[in-house]
Amino acid sequence: MRKLLVLFIMAQFSFITNAQEHLLDSIAVVKDTTKYVKTIDYTAKRSFQEAIKLRYTDKEFVYTEEEIPEENEASSTDLSFLRAFASFMQAIFPFLLGGFVVFIILKLVLGSEIGFWNFKKGKKKVAEKLVYEDEDIHEVDLEALLAQAILEQNFRLAVRYNYLSVLKELSNKKLIDYHKDKTNTAYTYELEQGTIREEFSYLSYVYTYVWYGDFPIDSNDFNKIKEKYSSFKTKVKK
C-alpha cells in the first residue's frame, strides 16, 4: 500500500513538470520589426518668433483676479433706511412747518389755553388773561376784583383772587418775600414750621387744582373754598 502511494505521488509530480515545459515551449518570441526612419520633419529644430511674448501681452490675454470688496450688509441696510427716512421727512416737512407756525400763533393769542375743546372759550380766556396776567398784588384792589368775579359767577377767577389776597397778607406781615415769578412751593418753604405753613400748603393745593387744572366749580364749592381762605387770613392778621 505504501508503495502504491509513493508511485502515485511521483506520477503526479512528473505530470506537472511536463506541463510546465510544454507551456514554455508554446510561448513564441515576437521580434520588433518596426523600422524607425529619421526625417527632416521631426528632426528640424523648432523655434518661436521673437514677438511671441508681445503678442500675448494684450489686455485680452491678461488674466488677473480682481478683489471685489464685500459689501457690508448692515451698512447697506442702514443707508437704505436713512434714504427712506429722508424721503419721508421731505414729504411731510411742509406740513410740520405749517402746523408749527399755526401753533405759535395760537400760543401767542391764547397762551396755555390751546386745545380743540377750548376754541369756543378762546375770547373768554383772553379777557381773563388780560385781567390777571400782570396784576401786582400790592397795587390792585383784590377785594374789588374778587367781588366782581363772584358777581359774574366766574368762580375759578374768584379762587385766584382769594389766593392772591392770602399772598398779599403774608407779604404784609413779612412772612414771605413776594415776587410774581416765585412758585407756591417756594412760598411754603419760606414759612416757619407750624399751622400756618400746613394750612397755606393746603390752600396752594386747592388753588392749583382749581385754576391750573381748569376744574369747574359752582357756587357751593366756591363758598366752601372761600371760607377756608377767609379763616386763614384771619389767623395771619392776628
Q: Does the residue 115 lie in any domain?
A: no
Type of residue numbered 18: N
| 190 falls within a domain | yes
Cβ-contact 168, 138 below 8 angstroms: yes
The answer to whether residue 185 sits within a structural domain is yes
* 196 assigned to some structural domain: yes
Question: What confidence tier does 129 reach under pLDDT thresholds 50, 70, 90?
Answer: very low
The pLDDT score that the predictor gives to residue 85 is: 79
What is the pLDDT, as a whole number, of residue 77? 67
Whether 214 is in a domain gets the answer yes
Q: Where do we find the cell 518661436?
A: 48
Q: What are residue 200's phi and psi, to 5 degrees?
A: -65, -40
Buried b / exposed e across 19-43, counting CB within 10 Å, b at 16+? eeeeeeeeeeeeeeeeeeeeeeeee
Count: domains in the chain: 1
Q: Which domain holds residue 178?
A: 135-237
Residue 9 grid coordinates: 505521488
Q: Give residue 110's pLDDT.
A: 54
Share of the chain above pLDDT 90, in %: 30
On whether the CB atoms of residues 196 and 189 are closer than 8 A, the answer is no
Looking at the domain assignment, is residue 111 inside a domain? no
Q: What is the mean pLDDT of residues 211-219?
A: 87
Distance CA 187, CA 205 (A): 13
Q: What are the start-end ranges of the E strands in the chain?
A: none
C-beta atoms surrounding 136 within 10 Å: 10
Which percentage of the chain shows pLDDT scores above 70?
Answer: 55
pTM of the model as a whole: 0.46
Q: How far is CA 181 from CA 187, 222, 238, in A?
A: 11, 26, 28
> Is residue 127 domain-resident?
no
CA dihedral 106, 109, 111, 115 (to 10 degrees): -40
Question: Which stretch of 18-22, 140-144, 204-208 has the lowest confidence by average pLDDT?
Answer: 18-22
Question: Does some domain include residue 171?
Answer: yes
